[in-house]
Structure 1
Amino acid sequence: MSELLLTDEERDRAGTRLLTLLNGHERGIPAAQVLPEPDRETLTALLSDPMPEDGIGVDALFDRWEHEILPNSTTVAHPRFLAYVLGPPNGIGPYAEAVAAAINQNCNFWQLSPAASVVERAVLEWLAEVVGFPSSAKGILTGGGSLATLQALAAALHDRVPGFRATGLQRPAPALVVYTSVEAHRSVDKAAAILGIGLDHVRHIPTDSQHRMDVTALTEAIAADRSAGRQPWCVVATCGTVNTGAVDPLDAIADLCAEQDLWLHVDGAYGALFLLCEEMRAVMGGCARADSISLDPHKTLFAPLEAGCLLVRDGAKLRDAYAFDSSYLTVAEDPLLTDYMDYGPQLSRGFKALKVWSALQAFGVNAFRTTMARTLDLARRLADGIEATPGLTLLAPVTLTAVCFAIDGVDHTAALQALAADNTALLGPVLLDGRHGIRACITNHRTTPADIDLILDRLKAMSSPPVEPAGRPLSTVDQ
Structure 2
Amino acid sequence: MDGTTLILNAAERTKAAELLARFTDSYENSLTSRPIAPDADRETLTKLLAEPFPEEGLGVEAFFADVVDRIVPYTTTIAHPRFLAYVQGPPNGISPYAEAIAAVLNQNCNLWQISPAANVIERSVMDWLTDLFALGPSSGGLLTNGGSGATKDAITAAIADRRPDFRERGLQETRAPLVLYTSDEAHRSVVKAATLLGIGLANVRTIPTDDHFQLRVDLLAKAIADDRAAGKEPFCIVATAGTVTTGSIDPIGPIADLCEKENLWLHVDGAYGALFILADSTREALAPLSRADSITLDPHKLLFAPLEAGALLVKDMAKLRAAFAFSSTSSYLTAIDDAHLLDYMDHGPQLSRSFKALKVWAALRTFGVGAFRTTTERCLSLATRLGSHIAANPGLDLMNPVTLTAVCIRMPGRNAEAHAELLTRLHEEGTAMLGPARIRGQACIRACITNHRTTETDIDLLASRLTTLATR
* Whole-angstrom distance in 2 between the partners of 1:438 and 1:139: 36
In the other structure, the counterpart of 1:437 is: 444
Distance 1:54 1:143 in 2: 34
Is the Cα–Cα contact under 8 Å of residues 100 and 351 in structure 1 kept in the other structure? yes
Contact 1:82–1:440 under 8 Å retained in 2: yes
Question: Which residue number in structure 2 is paired with residue 461 of structure 1?
Answer: 468
Quick check: 399-408 or 210-219, which moved more? 399-408
> Which residue identity lines up with residue 224 of structure 1 in the other structure?
D
Select the residue among 129, 132, 135 that pairs with 1:133: 135
Mapping of 1:228-377 within 5 angstroms?
Answer: 228-326=230-328, 327-377=331-381
Deviation string 1:427-460 (CA, Å, 9 cap, x unpaired) is: 0111111111111000000000000001011011
1:395 and 2:399 aligned = yes
The answer to whether structure 1 residue 10 and structure 2 residue 12 are counterparts is yes
Q: Secondary structure at the match of 2:32?
A: coil
Work out which of the residue numbers 412, 417, 434 in structure 2 matches 1:408.
412
Choose which of 176, 181, 184 in structure 2 pairs with 1:182: 184
Measure how far apart 1:325 and its partner are: 1.5
Mapped to 2, the partners of 1:88 and 1:38 lie a distance apart of 21
- Whether the 8 Å CA contact 2:36–2:80 is kept in 1: the answer is yes
Q: Which residue of 2 aligns with 1:424?
A: 431
8 Å Cα contact 1:35-1:426 kept in structure 2: yes
Aligned residue number for residue 386 of structure 2? 382
Is the contact made by 1:78 and 1:446 (CA closer than 8 Å) also made in structure 2? yes
Deviation at 1:284, TM superposition (A): 1.2
**Superposition deviation, residue 135 in structure 1:** 1.7
Displacement after TM superposition at 1:328 (Å): 2.6
Name the SS of the counterpart of 1:398 in structure 2.
Answer: coil
- 1:149 aligned partner: 151
Query: Residue 449 of structure 1: which of 445, 456, 459 is its match?
Result: 456
* Helix, strand or coil at the partner of 1:30: helix
Q: Partner letter of residue 220 of structure 2?
A: L
Q: What's 1:75 paired with?
A: 77
Corresponding residue for 1:468? none
Per-residue deviation at 1:324? 1.1
User: What letter matches 1:413 in structure 2?
Assistant: A
| TM-score of the pair, normalised by structure 1 | 0.96
**Residue pair 1:403, 1:440 contacting (<8 A) in 2 also:** yes
Indicate the larger mover: 115-124 or 156-165: 156-165
1:110 alignment partner in structure 2: 112
In 2, Cα distance between the equivalents of 1:81 and 1:70? 16
2:49 matches 1:47 = yes
Contact 1:390 1:463 in 2 (8 A): no
Aligned partner of residue 336 in structure 1, secondary structure:
coil
8 Å Cα contact 2:280-2:377 kept in structure 1? no
Taking structure 2 as the reference length, the TM-score comes to 0.97
**Which residue identity lines up with residue 334 of structure 2 in the other structure?**
T
My pick for the range that moved more, 63-72 or 324-333, is 324-333
Contact 1:240 1:268 in 2 (8 A): yes
1:278 to partner: Cα distance:
2.0
What's the CA shift string for 1:154-192, capped at 9, x where partnerless?
A: 011100113111111022201111000000000001101
What are the equivalent positions in structure 2 for 1:89-100 lying under 5 Å apart? 89-100=91-102
Q: CA deviation at 1:46?
A: 1.3
How far residue 232 of structure 1 moved from its aligned partner, in angstroms, is: 0.5
How far apart are 1:51 and its partner, in Å?
Answer: 3.0
Amino acid across the alignment from 2:345: M
Deviation for aligned residue 1:3: 0.5
Cα distance in 2 for residues equivalent to 1:103 and 1:356:
16
Cα drift, residue 52 of structure 1: 2.3
Q: How many residues align?
A: 465
**For the aligned residues, what is the CA RMSD?**
1.0
- Separation (CA, whole Å) in 2 of partners of 1:3 and 1:225: 64
Structure 1 contact 408–463 (Cα < 8 Å) conserved? no
SS in 1 for 2:215: coil
Range with greater deviation from structure 2 (323-332 or 174-183)? 323-332
Q: What stretches of structure 2 of length at least 5 have no aligned partner? A: none
